Amino acid sequence: MLPNSKRRTLRASVLCLAATAAAAAPLFAQVAAPAPAPAAAPAPFVKAEAEAVVSELATQLEDNFVFPEVAKRYADMLRSNLAAGRYSDFADAAAFAKAVTADLQAVHKDGHLALHPPREQAGAPGSGPRMVRRRPSGDVNAVSKSGWLADGVAYIRFEGFPGNEATLAALRDFIARHKDARSLIIDARTHRGGGLDEMDVLFPQLFERETVLVGMDTRVAVEQRRGSPIEGQASLRKVSGPDGVVRREHFVTPAADKSGLARSKVYLLTSNRTGSAGEHLALALKRTGRATLIGETTRGMGHYGGMVPLGHGYAAFIPVGRTFDPVTNEGWEGTGVKPDVEVPADQALDEALKRAGVDKPAELALSEIR
C-alpha cells in the first residue's frame, strides 16, 4: 500500500489542470515574484524521435482514452499522418507538439488532451497513465484570499485544489473561524483545477444529509491494466454502470462536528476560466441546489486523467474518465457549467454581495476584508 502522501498526490491528479499552452502560466500568485529568468531555448526537433513519439501516442490513446471509439479515430489519424510524412519537419519540438495537439483536437475536442514537448520529466514510454500533477513545487497555499467581507458574510477564493497540507490547513482554519457565517461566498473565478481533497473537507460542512454529488466513469481497460487513478478516496464508492466503464459516485457525508455553514446561504462565483476541478465543484453545488452559481459559464474541461511519458522527454495528458450529473448523465466537457445568475465575471462578487444583503461594492469589501 502506498503511503498517505503518495496516495493523496495520485488522487489529486484525477481532475488535473488544463494541459494546454496556457498551463505555462503560474497556477498560484506569489507575493513577490522574482525577476523573470531568460527564456530557455526550445528543445530541437528530431525526426526519428518525433515519429517514435507519434507511434507511441497512438498506442497510448487506443489503450487509455476515455472513449474507445474516439481513441481509435485519434490513433488512425496519427498513423495516417505519420505514414504520409506529416511529422517530418518542424522548427523545434514545441512546434511539433503544438501541431500534433491541433491534429488531435481537430478529430475530437477535449479540454485536457495535449502533447507536451521535452522538459525535465523523462519517463519510460509505454508505462501508461502516470498520474503526475502539473503544479508548482513546494507546499503552496491555494487559498489566495479569505475572511469576513461584512458581518455574517464569509469569503474564500481558491486558485486551485492542489491537495497539499498548506491549502487543506488554510481551509480548515477558515471553516473554524467562519463557522457561524449566514452567507458564504466561494470564489472560483480563477480556479484552474486539481483534485478532490479540498472538496472533501468543505462539503461535509455544507450538507446536512448524505448526498450524491456527481458520477465518475473510468475506462475499465485502464483500471484492469493499471489500477484506478481515483481509488482510495473515501468519498467515492463504486456503483453499477454500463459496460466498458467502472462507475463511482462522489458523495458527501455530513461531518459529525459540522458547523453552522450547513445552514448558510452559499454563492459560488465562476468565470470562463474556471476549469476542471473548479467545474466539478460547480456542478456538485449546482445540481444539489446547495449553492447559487453567479458569473459566467465555466471553461468546459470535464475529463480526468494523467500524464503519460512517451519517450525522448515528450509526454501527453490523456483523459481516462469523465465526470457527470448522475441524473441526466450529462457532463460539461466542451460546454461548461452554466451559472444560475449570468453576469460578467468581474461583476459576480458585486451580485453575490447584493444577494447577501451587503450594500457595499466588491472592490471596497475586498479591501476591507478581515
**Burial class of 342 by CB neighbour count within 10 A (0 to 12, 13 to 18, 19+):** middle
The residue count for the chain: 370
Among residues 157, 125, 120, 119, the alpha carbon closest in space to that of 141 is found at 157
Convert 203-215 to b/e letters by CB count within 10 Å (16 or more is b). bbbbbeeebbbbb
Residue indicated by cell numbers 489519424: 77
Q: Which three cell numbers stand for residue 191?
A: 480556479
Count of CB atoms situated within 10 Å of the CB of 171: 23
Which segments within the chain are labelled E, that is strand? 114-116, 143-150, 153-158, 183-187, 211-219, 236-239, 245-252, 265-270, 292-295, 303-311, 314-324, 341-342
Q: What is the pLDDT of residues 134-158, one digit of tens each?
A: 343 348 999 999 999 999 999 999 9
Which position has the grid cell 494546454? 20
Q: Which residue has the higher pLDDT, 7 or 347?
A: 347
Q: How many angstroms separate the CA atoms of 207 and 209, rounded?
A: 6
The Cα–Cα gap between 56 and 344 comes to: 43
CA distance 339 to 281: 12
What domain range includes position 228? 143-304+322-367
Identify whether 78 is part of a domain: no
Tens digit of each residue's pLDDT (9 = 90 or more) over 317-361 = 999 999 999 999 999 999 999 999 999 999 999 999 999 999 999
Residue 55 forms part of a structural domain = no
The answer as to whether 250 is a domain residue is yes
Q: Of all helices (H) and strands (E), which one includes residue 238?
A: strand 236-239
Q: Is 217 domain-assigned?
A: yes
What residues does 217 pair with on adjacent strands? Answer: 247, 322
Q: How confident is the model at residue 224 (pLDDT cuts 50, 70, 90)?
A: very high
Residue 287 pLDDT > 70: yes
- Domain with 356 in it: what CATH number? 3.90.226.10
The verdict on residue 58 lying in a domain is: no
Task: Give the C-alpha separation, 181 to 149, whole Å.
Answer: 11
In a domain, 91, yes or no: no
Give the Cα separation of 250 and 200 in Å (integer).
Answer: 10
Question: Is the distance from CB of 294 to CB of 348 less than 8 angstroms?
Answer: yes
Query: Is residue 331 within 8 Å of 325, Cβ to Cβ?
Result: yes
pTM for the model: 0.84
CA distances from 367 to 144, 186, 356, 370 (A): 14, 17, 18, 9
| Overall domain count for the chain | 1
pLDDT digits (tens, 9 = 90+) for 72-124: 999 999 999 999 999 999 999 999 999 999 999 999 999 999 999 997 444 45
pLDDT classification of 230: cutoffs 50, 70, 90? confident
Q: What are phi and psi of 218, to 5 degrees?
A: -110, 140
Q: What ranges in 208-274 are assigned the alpha helix state H?
A: 220-226
Q: Is residue 113 situated within a structural domain? A: no
Give a yes or no: residue 211 inside a domain: yes
